[in-house]
Amino acid sequence: MSRPGGGAPPTWSGNRLFLVGMMGSGKTTVGRLVATALGWQHCDSDAMVEARTGHTVVELARDVGEAAMHAEEAAALREAAVLDGVVVSVAGGAVLDPASRSLLGAAGPVVWLRARPDTLATRVAGGGERPLVGSDAVGRLRALDAERRPFYVAVSQAAVDVDGQEPEAVAHDVLLAFERLRAAGPGS
């Protein structure tokens, strides 16, 4: 675990924790484990998009385009950012939207689940349809990682490496990071 640094000092309020990272980094699985440990609810922005639209993010990306999919992800993030006692697994591409990045900085501590593209490719292979991946999973994930990594660094106050780790170990590290961030307070 490390502190990636960067970005404007956060000004959070409420009991929220946001998990960011690429598809396959374990945001949903780890988010559920962390929420259970805290006695909070868990929100997955992809599930929120599906509930809002009646379509999966894959269907939205395919049928109406990536821009519309990302707009729905941003709307789901805005909904989740006002909840209290919640761990939010943020859609991987939400950090591409400047308004979503600003919202994350103000809404609560953000922990980046950091993974190598090879790890992500192994995890998403055979795991159902994933938007934006295609047949060359490793190549596409490397390109997406190169594009998104600076944004993950900018919005997060801590990073937890997930490569070679079981979800329970990652959740433990996330909880440690969250407690340190909460104790230090915004802007630390």
Q: Within the chain, how many helices (H) and strands (E) appear?
A: 8, 5
65: left (phi over 0), alpha (psi -120 to 50) or beta: left
- The parent domain of residue 177 ranges over 16-183
Residue 135: give its domain's CATH number: 3.40.50.300
**What is the structure's pLDDT at 81?**
92
Q: Is residue 109 part of a domain?
A: yes
**What is the structure's pLDDT at 36?**
98
How many domains does one find in the chain?
A: 1
**What is the structure's pLDDT at 183?**
84
Residue 143: CB partners within 8 Å, gap ≥ 6? none
Total residues found in the chain within this entry: 188
**What is the structure's pLDDT at 134?**
55
Cα gap 147→113, rounded to integer Å: 16
- pLDDT tens, the chain, 188 aa long: 444 444 444 456 679 999 999 988 999 999 999 999 999 999 999 899 999 899 888 788 888 888 888 888 899 999 999 999 999 999 988 898 899 999 997 899 999 999 998 888 887 765 545 444 556 677 888 898 999 999 999 999 999 999 999 999 999 999 999 999 988 877 65
Q: Which secondary-structure segment (H or E) carries 20?
A: strand 16-20
Q: What is the pTM of this model?
A: 0.87
Q: Is residue 9 part of a domain?
A: no
Closest of 161, 28, 29 to residue 92, by C-alpha: 28
Q: Is residue 114 part of a domain?
A: yes
Q: Is residue 7 part of a domain?
A: no
